[in-house]
Amino acid sequence: MKDGQKNWRWIWALVAVVALLVIVVPSLLPHSSSKNLSYSQFLSDANNHQIKTATFDNSSGSINGTFTDGAKYNSMGFNPPLQTDINQVRKDGVTVNVVTPSNTLATWLPYIFFIAIFGGMIFFVSRQARGQMNGIMSVGRSKARLYSEEHPSTTFEDVAGYYGVKQEISEVVDFLKTPERFKEIGASIPKGILLVGPPGTGKTLLARAVAGEAGVPFLSVTGSDFMEMFVGVGASRVRDLFQTARKDAPAIIFVDEIDSIGRKRGAGVGGGHDEREQTLNQMLSEMDGFDPAEGVVMIGATNRPDILDPALLRPGRFDRQIVVPLPDLDERLPILKVHCKNKQVEPDVDLELVARGTPGMSGADLANLVNEAALHAVRRGSTSIAMIDFESARDRVLMGQRRDSLVLSDDEKERVAFHEGGHAVLAYVLEHADPVHKVTILPTGMALGVTMQMPMEERHIHPRNEIEDSLCVRMGGRVAELLVYGDLSTGAANDLVGNTELARRMVREWGMSEKIGPAAWGSQGQVFLGDDLMHTRDYSEDTSRVIDDEVERILRAEETRATEVLTLHRGGLEAVARALLETETLDGTQVGQLVDEAFGQPVHANGPKAVVPSLNGASFGEGHQRPTVLDEPTSDQEWGPPAWPDGEMPSA
């Protein structure tokens, strides 16, 4: 509630109290001592010449006066007293005085009171209506928050890692602080900088650091703030935003999630969204139109640069795109240190080992990992975070929460053990497959069992033999069930979905089919953009049939290869499955030992395949690819991860 409204409430309460006091207090005040007479007694005493004076009050009907001995009296007569009685009293020698008193305050107070209440109601209603009108009239104003030099306090020192990104974006800060250094040589600063990267990599945090470092007005707004139920509001807010920035130039405008208003115009079912397109057109005009904004730098953040309008990305608007990628090992370590700064961490915790064991995690993932480790330490009853807490937290983040309430029958548990054993054995035996980190038959997340693989080294491209081994490993669960039970179950649903999508991308996008050759057909776009709806299919029915045949050929070939390998290592499959039934969880080293012992000799001539140990073990190599988790949903619904690690393959 506003202070003005509080003051008015106190004023009205005070008026009500004063009115009550005026009405009630006079009746409570003590009166002078006098003899009370009945009206008949008054007339009798007047007839007997015992009363000297009498004052008749026409308004109240009261009579008061003095006796002949000087004593006072009062009496209540008729209202008003009869004139005949007054005349008779005068004949009896009484000095009579008839008065009609007029109490202006008492007369008008009730009217004043009700008029004040009515006036107060009208005033309150008018204030509310005026406030609503002000809200309607100000709907076109920008909702951007203006930060001064002191707020926010985040600086580049608070952003761990990303040294190259900070160097690029700091040029904007330097230009705004000392523009003469750049103008001397004729350089001009980019008008717009677009921060691009996966979710959770710290794009908004970098913008806050720019606000803390800039020393110039910093206006922060999200893309959704421009959209309203009224037509034209978005464009009006864009105009007001840039007008405010021009007044305080040099200034920085930060638009978070800019893809909400910067999508391609004319895309989608129905031809797009007129209000959003008007807003985008106004932003394009403000950034580099007939009257461009001088001294105003715009910073946008998005994780979907592919859906932005080309006019927004051309030079003169967003001149520079800064990629904020997933952090590598050198960046994950300082990020972990930042998030562990205010937490009770045991001295023997090796954060470098934790950083090496978390490839592919973003800054937000690492923050969540540290928090999950702290929560696990509390559940253990510990007052500090140990390495075992980080190991449990990583399993919780990658595989999901363990479901202790789900109890499997002995037959189901055995089938899950052989299914996961098939994945684990193939992951160990196949040369180019990522090594097994952990395999468990404990229900975790939405899966009845989980096999997790973790890469040993950083990879930016994936060769064909590596992709084929990944397909073969995913076939391991289905093939193991066929070998042991002679039939199939629903446990391989997620494996088949992932494999089909991966094989289709091999054929259609990556040119890994001899029949299709070096061609990319029908790359899958985002449905909401409407690209596939507004364009005809770019390949014929014959090509479509060839693509389907090639996908089927690849999948059947990998199934055949998985069958051959598991048949050769049937003993290892049995050993891993029995060990899972006994201990429920195995790490990669134990899986390798069981397979080698059952095979009678090391499967790999150069020694056991390198595996990724737990965070309690020794150090191991770095991996930029996110760990692969093979899981089996409890129903036919697709619960698993994407068929191939995060996003598109990097372009050559």
Give the burial class of 165: count Cβ atoms within 10 A of its Cβ; 0-12 exposed, 13-18 middle, 19 or more buried: buried
Q: Residue 51 forms beta bridges with which residues?
A: 67
Contact 154, 211 (CB under 8 A): yes
Q: What token pair was written down for 630?
A: 């093979």
Q: Residue 268 forms beta bridges with which residues?
A: none
Residues in the chain: 652
Q: What token pair was written down for 61?
A: 């009907």
CA–CA separation, 332 vs 352, rounded Å? 9
CA–CA separation, 53 vs 97, rounded Å? 8
Return the closest-CA partner of residue 451 out of 484, 473, 430, 472.
Answer: 473
Q: Within 10 Å of residue 136's Cβ, how many Cβ atoms?
A: 10
Q: Which helix (H) or strand (E) element contains residue 196?
A: strand 192-196
CA–CA separation, 316 vs 407, rounded Å? 62
CA–CA separation, 191 vs 293, rounded Å? 9
b/e string for 440-453 if b means 16 or more Cβ within 10 A? bbbbbbbbbbbbbb
**Is 420 tagged catalytic?**
yes
Encode 446-458 in three state secondary structure.
CEEEEEEECCCCC
* Number of DSSP helices (H) and strands (E) in the chain, helices first: 21, 15
Contacts (Cβ under 8 Å, ≥6 apart) of 623: 359, 360, 454, 455, 456, 457, 458, 459
Instruction: Report how far apart, in Å, the C-alpha atoms of 564 and of each of 485, 561, 570, 575 are.
Output: 16, 5, 10, 18
- Long-range contact pairs involving 29-37 (C-beta distance under 8 Å, separation at least 24): 32/72, 33/72, 34/64, 34/71, 34/72, 34/73, 34/74, 35/71, 35/72, 35/73, 35/74, 36/73, 36/74, 36/75, 37/73, 37/74, 37/75
Which listed residue (213, 275, 414, 420) is catalytic? 420
Q: At 47, which amino acid appears?
A: N
b/e string for 402-433 if b means 16 or more Cβ within 10 A? beeeeeeeeeebbbbbbbbbbbbbbbbbbeeb
The gap between the terminal CA atoms of the chain, to the nearest Å, is 60
Contact 512, 596 (CB under 8 A): no
State residue 112 phi and psi, 5-degree precision.
Answer: -60, -40
Task: Return the active site residues.
Answer: 420
